[in-house]
Each structure stands twice: as C-alpha cells, then as structure tokens.
Structure 1
Amino acid sequence: MTSTTHDAHASDDEPTPAIEIDAHSSTATTETTAGDPTTRFGIGEWYGQSFTELSAPERLEFSSYGVPAKVSLTKPERERLIQLRRKVDNDVPLNKAETKRHEILENKFCIEQKSTKLCPFKKVDGYGLTPCTKSGGVCSLRAYTRAPNDEVVPVSGAKGALRTLCPYRFHEGATAFNWASSVILGQPFPILVGEVGFLESSETYDGSEGEDVGRIDMVVVDASKPPDYPLPWIALEIQAVYFSGPEMPKLFSQIAKDIQDGGNGIVFPSENRRPDYRSSGPKRLMPQLQIKIPTLRRWGKRMAVVVDRPFYESMGKMRTTDHVSLSDVVWFVVDYKHNPTSRRFELTQGDAYFMTLEEAVKGLTGGTPVAQPVFEDKIRAELSALTPLAISMSAAAAIKTLPGS
C-alpha cells in the first residue's frame, strides 16, 4: 500500500445552535468504482490546480518537477524570518546581527518563492505561501472513464467527487477550521495552534519521562475572552485518505509519454489505484479518537474531525445526536466546488454531524458482526478444504502436548 499522507462546551456561553441533521445511514465501506474496468482513479488536483484544466506543457512540466535542493527555508529559518519581520513592522530597531540575518533570510525567501511550486493551501501568517513538500504534488484523486468517442473524461455526479490525499488540502482559507469553531465555540474567527503535545511518555529504558508521544493536529481557540476566563478551545483532527496501488511516478511517466507522442496528457490510468479507507479510517483515525476523546470528554471539551464527503460516506451506519452539547465528536464534512475562472476547486462547507465516540467507532469499523453459527460455518468450510494428511498431522501434534504423552 502507498500512503500519501503522514500522520465539550468550552465556556459558559451558549454555542451556536446546531443545524438540524438526519441520521447518517451510509453503509458503504469501499469505493463503488472498485472492480469497474471502465473507471479508474487519476489525478484530481496537481499542485493546487485542476488536472483537466492544465495545458499539455504544464502537465509535462509537473510530471518531471522535483523540489530543488537547499532552496526552501527550514522551519527554524521561517520562524526567525517571521520574528524579524514583526519587529520591522512594529518599528522595533534591529541590531547589526539581526539586520544581516534579516537580509539573508529575505533573499533566500525570494529565491524560494521563485524556484519552487507553492502550495495555495499552506499559508503561514507573517510569511505567506510555503512550498509544496508533498512528493509529486498530487492534492487529490478523481475518477476517470472513457467517453463513447474514447476520450478520457472525469466521472460525473457524486462518484466524480475529489478524494483528498494531502491533509494540507483541508487548510484552504481556514474555511473548515472557522466553521468548526463557529458551530462548537460560537466564534467564527478563532486562533489556530498547530500540533500541541497531548500525551507524554513515562520513563522507560529507551525514553525520558515527559517526552511528547502524541499530538493533536490542531487546537482551535476563542481568544476573545478575558485572560481570567476559562480558555475556550476544541481539538481538531484532519483526515485525508491513503491510496493503494502503484506509486504515482508511474502515472507521471504515462502522462509525459502521451504528451511527447502528441497527446494532451489526459490519459486513462494504465494501472489501478483506489482510495484505501480501511487504512485511513479504522487503522489510523479510529485509534486517535479512542485515545484522545476520553480525556477530552473528562475535560469537558470536544473533538472536531474534518474529512471530505467520499470519506464520510465510506463509513458505516451511525446515529447522530440533535445538538452539539450531546456529542463527543463533530464531523465536519467538506465539499469541493469547481471555479472555472480560477481553474481550481474551492473547499466549501458541507454538513456537520454530531455523535458520541461509540457511534463514531461503530461507523469507522464499518462492519456488522456475523452470528456465531455463520462464523462457525466459515470455520468448517476452511477445515473441509484441508487435506486429510494436514488434519491428521495437526491432531497428532495436539496429542503430543497432552500431559503424560
């Protein structure tokens, strides 16, 4: 499998009233396009732009692009540049060493901005857009099929929705984060604090006590309250989808060859890739919720989870609650709407679903236990497929382990 991603009331104020929501009843656990030879997943967005609206020369360039070595600022350099810029903006004099450092970092910043492909969704306050660091630059997947004239076109309708691969895709304009804050905290303009340590280790042979061993993706804070007011905040997790199938460079090579042969690069993928919701949901996201929410619940806080609509619809049946005050976790399901002017898809608010941790786990598990007789019939079927020799050898081994044998 190829992975394309890494990794409660907060105040006495009445939260924004919840929108009325019907119980989520999707029972899909796999993509409906799976096994369909006429449909395959290809690139939805590439370096922030709609793949189908790129020109052939742009597709050819993207297919061979690699991040230049030692061009981008490191995280410490970026943080230092922001500090120096704030001093300048606030008319705080820089000493000689700071002036020299500021000049060096600004020059490196200019080179970075001109020499790299910037992620339109990764904007840092006081800095601007940062370079895309995702290998290959694919933001999302999209299903493609062949038209009657053999032209390769995106699948229409719900099956043609984008599947988010890169978690930074959810950062667009802070739309999802502001929405979550508005619904749970009643504050549409929060402050965002990234990757806060939540779990600390105990001292072991191989580690020191107090080391961060688990973080929350983002903490959304209502900073408008007085300093002596209980801090209003929510924990927020974002979950993109992994994909299974061949590495993306094989598709890049197919695109480049098609263009070099006179095509436009919009190809029907030669190999099958598909979103892997089992790895993304039950194996990655569910443990995060099970570890973090019980503590958050004791603290009187809530967890917000941001996913796209195909991810949410891939989960099993879950019962929702009528109001945020009755929930442990709130799912914020986003959609992507195409803007033909900008040649981009824009992240928009979709639906919010309130539920308990237990219901969220049930949905992420995405399955219903079979009855015991059904399970045992499956065991018998497996046994019947074994050869008599295998059964006799297993029985003989078991007899040897009995006392006195």
Structure 2
Amino acid sequence: MSTKKQPLAEVFGYTITDNTEIAKRHRMNRLCPFNNKVPNCTKDKANNPLGVCSIYHENKPVITCPIRFRQNWLVAEDAAHFFFNEGTNWTSLTEVRLNDADGKPAGNIDVVLVAYDATSGKVVDFGALEIQAVYISGNIRAPFEYYMRDPTAYQDADWSKESNFPRPDYLSSSRKRLVPQLLYKGRILRSWNKKIAVAIQKSFFATLPKMHSVPKTDADLAWLIYDLELTTDEQGNERFNLKKVDEVFTKLDPALDSITTPSPGKLEDFIRVLQEKIDEQLETPPNNRTLAEELLNHYEED
C-alpha cells in the first residue's frame, strides 16, 4: 500500500474519491450522514463547517469528529448492552447538561441512555455515553478547502512535505479532553451509582496506559473500542463503516489513576539535562552582580 500524501479520509461522510450522487449532494449541501443534531455538519463553524470526519495517519483512517461515531447509532446499542438488562425499554438523549451540587455545570453528557417503564413511561434507570474523537495538530482546513474547490484536482495533491501536515494529537486528546470528562462528569455519575461508557477508536485506546480490567458485572466504566472498516459496493465505491472491535470493562478510579499517573524517567537523565544547561551558561558567564555590589557601587558614584 502506497503512503498517503494527503490527509483527508472522509469529507461530509464519504471518502474523497467517492463521486456518487449521494456523496456529491452531501458535499454540496454540507450534510452530515451520522445523526448530527441538525441535518448539516456544524463542526468548527456552522456557516462554514469543517466537514472532515477522519484523516489518514500511517495510511489508516483516524476519526477526528465525535459525531462520526454515531453511524447507525451502533454506539448507543452497544452502550445499552452494558447499562441495562436484556429486554429493557430504552431511548437516547443527546447533549444533556450535568450540574454539580452547587448548580454549576460540569459539562454536557454526549448521549444519555434512558431506561423507562413501558406502561407509565417513567424513567427507571440511565447510563452516560461519552464519545472521544481525536484532536488534530497541524492545518486541516487548508487541504479541506482545496478539496472542496476542486475534488478532482485534489486527488493529485501532495501535502506530505508541508510543515503543518495534519496528524492526530493523542496526548492532548487524553489530557485535555478524556481525563477532564471522566474526572468531573464521571465521578458525579459514579456517586449516583450510574455506569459510564466511553466510545473510542482503537488507535486512540492503544495510546492509553494499560488498565486493569474487571468482569462486566463488576464494572462501572466500559471502553467500547471501534475502528473504520473499508468496504466496496458492487459499483466499486469505497466506504468506511464503523465497527466495534473490542470492549474493556474497568472501574472508574483505577482507570483514572492509570491514565493520569506518569511513568517517571530516570533522575540521572534529568540531572544530565540540567548539567548541560549549566555548562552552556558557564561558557558565557552572565554578570552576576549581587544587590549589595549594586548598592555599594551606587554610593561610591554619589
């Protein structure tokens, strides 16, 4: 397989080489096929959305938009299997505000799955589903806008030598997004004895520290792990489809400890860095006059 020289995998839900009428219609009208809150894509800017669903990294598609995980609502169905017993009546609500004890917002829950009594409609249980896509480092809007102006010409574009070539930033995605979500929302939900599921792509999950797994019946946190599978229809059109490839069951606090506890390097390596910096300074020593010397010099001049 040749190395991809451009970053775009999916735009407005379809591969960049897809020239079917439905793909063209989605590009023309900026439509989202993955159950966004409105028919159109709203990523980044509602009036000029950044319709990139996934990018290539090491020749594999990496999901960069959380809405992409909503394809066919597979994530909701998989989360329901973790939250509820077989045969439970449930429905889903998106972007539900969660407040702390002082009424201050702790954030929105991406999807709340609600179990209800079939006769009365009364809520009997619920679980929270968080969806974690990946942040991008580099400039993705430039190639996206180039593609939107002329999809055919873009096919021969080579962005590989660009200094700001887009790539997934897994570290920022976990530290700035995933960890805060679990710390604040997760611990509120855990205090209510409610379960949490995290939908995450295989490549992202692989960058996290190893977590101690527990039986499904003992878990309060489920990691639902997905990937994009390339399929080809009878006309030869390629599509990516979301597919669950694994699931890992853990406890919330031990999982947070694993993710947030750094693996320290060697002390002598850090001391070596300090020594190198000190040596650099000593090669051109600064004028390290003390305050007393400055005052004495001042009085002598007077």
Which of 323, 326, 330 is matched with 2:222 structurally? 330
Distance (Å, rounded) in 1 between the aligned partners of 2:84 and 2:293: 65
Structure-2 change in CA distance of 1:325 and 1:39 (3 Å): same
| Residue 53 in structure 1 maps to residue 14 in structure 2 | no
Distance (Å, rounded) in 1 between the aligned partners of 2:147 and 2:139: 13
1:82-114 C-alpha deviation (Å, 9 max, x unpaired): xxxxxxxxxxxxxxxxxxxxxxxxxxxxxxxxx
Structure-2 change in CA distance of 1:215 and 1:368 (3 Å): same
Structure-2 change in CA distance of 1:292 and 1:163 (3 Å): same
TM norm structure 2? 0.77
The letter for the 1-side match of 2:51 is G
Which of 300, 305, 310 is matched with 2:203 structurally? 310
Tell me the CA shift for residue 220 of structure 1. 1.1
Which piece of structure 1 moves more, 341-350 or 251-260?
251-260
What does residue 130 of structure 1 align with?
Answer: 39
Distance (Å, rounded) in 2 between the aligned partners of 1:201 and 1:186: 30
Between the two proteins, the alignment pairs up a number of residues equal to 277
The letter for the 2-side match of 1:136 is L
Where 1:53 maps in the other structure, the secondary structure is coil
Structure-2 change in CA distance of 1:54 and 1:362 (3 Å): farther
Give runs of aligned pairs for residues 1-400 of structure 1, distance below 5 A. Answer: 42-54=7-19, 62=27, 116-122=29-35, 130-134=39-43, 135-143=49-57, 159-187=58-86, 190-200=90-100, 202=102, 210=103, 212-224=105-117, 231-253=124-146, 259=152, 265-270=155-160, 271=162, 272-321=165-214, 323-341=215-233, 343-365=238-260, 367-387=262-282, 393=288, 396=290
Does the CA contact (< 8 Å) of 1:47 and 1:119 recur in 2? Answer: yes
Structure-2 change in CA distance of 1:179 and 1:399 (3 Å): farther
Distance (Å, rounded) in 1 between the aligned partners of 2:263 and 2:190: 27
The letter for the 1-side match of 2:76 is F
Distance (Å, rounded) in 2 between the aligned partners of 1:384 and 1:118: 59
1:16-70 C-alpha deviation (Å, 9 max, x unpaired): xxxxxxxxxxxxxxxxxxxxxx655511111111223337xx78x95xx6xxxxx
Q: What percent identity do the matched residue pairs reach?
A: 27
Note the residue ranges of structure 2 that are not aligned, 5 or more in a row.
44-48, 295-302
Structure-2 change in CA distance of 1:163 and 1:286 (3 Å): same
Distance (Å, rounded) in 2 between the aligned partners of 1:398 and 1:199: 56
Where 1:119 maps in the other structure, the secondary structure is coil
Tell me the CA shift for residue 344 of structure 1. 2.1
Where in structure 1 do 4 or more consecutive aligned residues deviate above 6 Å?
397-400
TM norm structure 1? 0.59
The letter for the 1-side match of 2:80 is S
Does the CA contact (< 8 Å) of 1:141 and 1:163 recur in 2? Answer: yes
1:256-311 C-alpha deviation (Å, 9 max, x unpaired): 57845xxx624332422100112211111101111122222221112110011111
Which piece of structure 1 moves more, 160-169 or 229-238?
229-238
Tell me the CA shift for residue 358 of structure 1. 3.9
1:373-395 C-alpha deviation (Å, 9 max, x unpaired): 443333333323324666663x8
Distance (Å, rounded) in 2 between the aligned partners of 1:216 and 1:349: 21
Which protein has greater RCO, CA pairs closer than 8 Å, 6+ apart?
1
Does the CA contact (< 8 Å) of 1:190 and 1:221 recur in 2? Answer: yes
Distance (Å, rounded) in 1 between the aligned partners of 2:293 and 2:249: 55
Structure-2 change in CA distance of 1:167 and 1:399 (3 Å): farther
1:333-365 C-alpha deviation (Å, 9 max, x unpaired): 112222312642111222111122344335544
Distance (Å, rounded) in 1 between the aligned partners of 2:147 and 2:33: 26
